[in-house]
Every structure is written in structure tokens, then in C-alpha cells.
Chains A and B, each alone.
Chain A
Amino acid sequence: DAGVIQSPRHEVTEMGQEVTLRCKPISGHDYLFWYRQTMMRGLELLIYFNNNVPIDDSGMPEDRFSAKMPNASFSTLKIQPSEPRDSAVYFCASRREGDQPQHFGDGTRLSIL
């Protein structure tokens, strides 16, 4: 089975620009999670979806962040406008229903100049 696929792998952009990160979960997985990883704070959950519906977005830092899941095979995380403090590695993960582990993609390394 193909794993979780994220794109782009690296993104460098200037402050104020819109950034869109993309994720394709593992086929058949019902849950999709977006995380942010930094040296200072480690892995932090931003938002998760169940059957394409956002369930908990309490980790989304500000209104500048938004996430969508238009169908079972695609999700986006958007930052508009971007700021240098948004620089981090963003991971997407998915899992099946029940007490199953989450499986992670290889992340998008985002640098905001």
C-alpha cells in the first residue's frame, strides 16, 4: 500500500504570501490529522478530520490557518498570510477507525522569509 503522500516536500516563500500544503491519506483510512513540528514545541496537533468532517480544530494557532478535506483522498492546509514564525515541518497522518495507530507522511518543510 502507498503511504501518506504530502506535497510539496519543501516550500520557501516570503512573508505575507499564501501557502497551501497538500495531503493524500492512505486509502480506506477514516481519520486525517495535520501536525506541526518545531524544535521548541515538538509535534503539535493542529486539526483532525473524520470521514472528511473537521472534528477538532482547537490546535489551529490563528485565523490565518485553515484546513479542508473535500473528499476522502485529499486534504489541504492553508496559511494566509504567512509569517516567519510559521516556519516548521508540517505533517499529515491518517488512520483507520478504531484503536489503530496513525501513519505519517514525510512532511513539508516550510520556510517563511
Chain B
Amino acid sequence: EDQVTQSPEALRLQEGESSSLNCSYTVSGLRGLFWYRQDPGKGPEFLFTLYSAGEEKEKERLKATLTKKESFLHITAPKPEDSATYLCAVRGAGGGNKLTFGTGTQLKVEL
């Protein structure tokens, strides 16, 4: 069974204070690791897909990286508008089209 563990559960940063969120996973045959952002009262919003170890994707202040056991979401010089819950999910070869989600990291960026 595919498993995803995210840490920390919550993170508070000052504006401009860079940090990283962790997503550890176990899956039989990774077919994709997905990062989503979720704002209160909204559905998850797609950010990135990573497929193989060593792959990196960037979007504005966010950069996602992937190894064989974990993924990191690096946030560089965050702003208050980056405050949200960040979700990680995996799609494994044995799960068909199913995504298994972690419980997320709740990020708050303060002025």
C-alpha cells in the first residue's frame, strides 16, 4: 500500500525566511509525485508533478525536488501570500489512477 508522510505538520516563517517542506513516500513503482497548494475553503490547486529521482521543477518562489524516498518543496524568500496548506501525493504503479495524499504542511508566513 502506498504511503505518504509530510513534515512538519505546521510551519511559521517570517517574510523572507527560506525553508523546506518534506514529503516522504513509499510506493511500488512511482508514476508521479504531485504537489498541491490548498487555501482555506478551497480545493487543492496543482503545483508540480515529478516523475524520477533527480528531477526538479520551479515556479516563482517554489522549487520541488525528488529523490527515491522523498520530495522537498523549497520556499525561497516567502511572502504572506504563500501561506497555505501544501499537500503531497503519489501515484503508484499498483494503484491504477489513484492518488495517495499526505496530511499536509500548514504554512504561515508573517510580516
Residues in A lying within 8 Å of B, measured CB to CB: 4, 31, 33, 42-45, 48, 50, 55-56, 91, 93, 99, 101-107
Q: Which residues of B contact A44 (CB under 8 A)?
A: 101
Q: Which residues of B contact A99 (CB under 8 A)?
A: 31-32, 49, 51
Q: Known A31-B97, A99-B31; judge A106-B49 contact (CB<8 A).
A: no
Q: Which residues of A contact B103 (CB under 8 A)?
A: 42
Q: Known A99-B32, A101-B34, A106-B41; judge A48-B46 contact (CB<8 A).
A: no
Nearest Cβ on chain A to B95's Cβ, whole angstroms: 9
Residues in B lying within 8 Å of A, measured CB to CB: 31-32, 34, 36, 41-46, 49, 51, 87, 89, 96-99, 101-104
Nearest Cβ on chain B to A71's Cβ, whole angstroms: 20
Q: Which residues of B contact A105 (CB under 8 A)?
A: 43
Q: Which residues of B contact A33 (CB under 8 A)?
A: 97, 99
